[in-house]
Amino acid sequence: MNCKHFGTCGSCAIFEVEYQTELMDKKERVLGLLSPFGVDDLEVFSANESHYRARSEFKIWHEGDSCSYAMGRLDRKGAVTISECPKVIKPIEKRMMPLLEKINGSEILKHRLFAVEFLSTTTDECLITMIYHRKLDEVWEREAKLLEENLNASIMGRSRKQKVILSQEYVTEKLFIDGQDYFYRHYESGFTQPNPAVNIKMIEWAIKQAKKVEQGDFLESYCGLGNFTIPLAKYFDRVLATEISKRSIHAANENCELNGISNIEFIRLASEEMTQALNRVREFRRLEGVDLDSYNFSTVLVDPPRAGLDSDTIELISNIENIIYISCNPETLARDLVELSKTHKIEDAAIYDQFPHTHHVESGVFLVKRS
């Protein structure tokens, strides 16, 4: 990636090696962690070297009467002002500098502006959230409404205990996955996969595993807004998917309607609560009307946070024939495989480079119960 701030801006930690070298280093790192479990090779899903991030956040640096975008420095010594960010996708890139120009031309827009967040789609929808250290009034709303029209984007304002939605607080992404279009409503405050192109590859890898099973019911924990759930649902009879975030469950149900899917039950439960419910340890009012005994799970997908799975969830999924484990932390994946490998064998493994020029890497394994 050609960026004038490479080596100074802390957003990209790897800048001294070619991208293919970086990618192979990531492969070797994950392979070293998975080789004790019988993995001798990994499928590698690379990213575009630039214009890959569909969401980003920039601090606003005030100097005199002028505002600039800023990021933390790579050496952790304060911030660096930036005039470009080639890692964001084109719909964000084309609005960044015109937005800054409008901010600098308006005392109302720039007064005590702290940060700007962008959330965009591959189809050019863009939501811009402007974050302030002051109360937002009707004067700000009028200025921001003009900004919406000028940038062809949705604008939101945030400050302490205040959220101002001028038009809408989401964008609707369209992704071509497994031969068809899928639609996802992404909310401003909800979690979304940041790299749309690699996200498609990741979902299609999970679909490849689902096609090996293609029967029974499907269980998913940490389902988010239905990123994996919705495309995988067509390969199973019924789906039970859980997630702790109210906003994500709301978005997941909306996304089901957008895609005309009716065989998914989204339930607001933490992973630990899901385990308690399925083991009949606790009853939950949120499961009222859901007959857990009627499900016959052939496959489970887990996509936990960096901390990995808790021991009770590992014990629960150890009883399910097929496991798709998507991980944002290969170290905790390897830790969890110590227990899972006692009952299951890894049949396929991959890495997905969602974040080029950083040390972060996503990985996935498909496990089948030992006979």
Rounded distance between C-alpha atoms, residue 355 and residue 349, angstroms: 19
- Do 56 and 12 form a contact (C-beta atoms < 8 A)? no
Helices 90-104 + 138-151 axis angle, to 10: 140
Rounded distance between C-alpha atoms, residue 187 and residue 169, angstroms: 6
Ramachandran class of 179: left when φ > 0, alpha when ψ lies in -120 to 50, beta otherwise: left
Residues 6+ apart with CB under 8 A from 358: 12, 13, 14
Residues 6+ apart with CB under 8 A from 362: 198, 202, 326, 327, 328, 351, 352, 353, 354
∠ CA 180-182-184 to the nearest 5 degrees? Answer: 170
Active site residues: 328, 362
- Do 261 and 291 form a contact (C-beta atoms < 8 A)? no
Q: In what order do the strands lie in the sheet with 322-327?
A: 43-45, 344-352, 362-369, 322-327, 297-302, 217-221, 239-243, 264-268
Q: In what order do the strands lie in the sheet with 126-132?
A: 79-82, 66-72, 55-63, 113-120, 126-132, 154-159, 162-165
Local structure of residue 9 (DSSP, 8 states): B
Q: How many CB atoms lie within 10 A of CB 11?
A: 22
Rounded distance between C-alpha atoms, residue 348 and residue 335, angstroms: 18
Return the residue matching tokens 């399925």: 278
